[in-house]
Structure 1
Amino acid sequence: MDDASLDEFLDDADSGDGADAVEDAPGATVESADPAVDPATTTYAWSASAVTCDACGTDTDRRWHDGDGRLVCPDCKDW
């Protein structure tokens, strides 16, 4: 099988100039096509060194958000 050029996959509507191309540049912001969509939020935090649970004060390296905005250890998380 011979190698094909990517140009062979363009149809007549494609200009081939890259004007429609989307590039991910460092620091680029992508706007949502649907403004009603909320951005993703984290549910978990990990630290290489021990950090304090916001609920009980225990040192841990793994914490989860508890619903009140606090980062808590696995024992304090209401699963």
Structure 2
Amino acid sequence: MTQRQFNVTGMSCEHCAASIREEVSEVPGVSEVVVDLAANAVTVYGSTDLDDERLRAAIVEAGYGVTDPVAA
């Protein structure tokens, strides 16, 4: 199982977290999405071939800013 973590801007509530979980969960290979509002972070777990570009695009599609993955 692979883990990717992203810093996300613009999140402020559980609705934000739910929107991100919904969009990112649709990316192929994703098995779990954990959103930490306090840390402004999203951690994605899934198959070894997770595509960082698709994960970033899903977060942006949900309406939030995202920075490069954090080393996990």
The answer to which structure, 1 or 2, has the higher relative contact order (CA under 8 A, 6+ apart) is 2
TM-score scaled by structure 1? 0.17
TM-score scaled by structure 2? 0.18
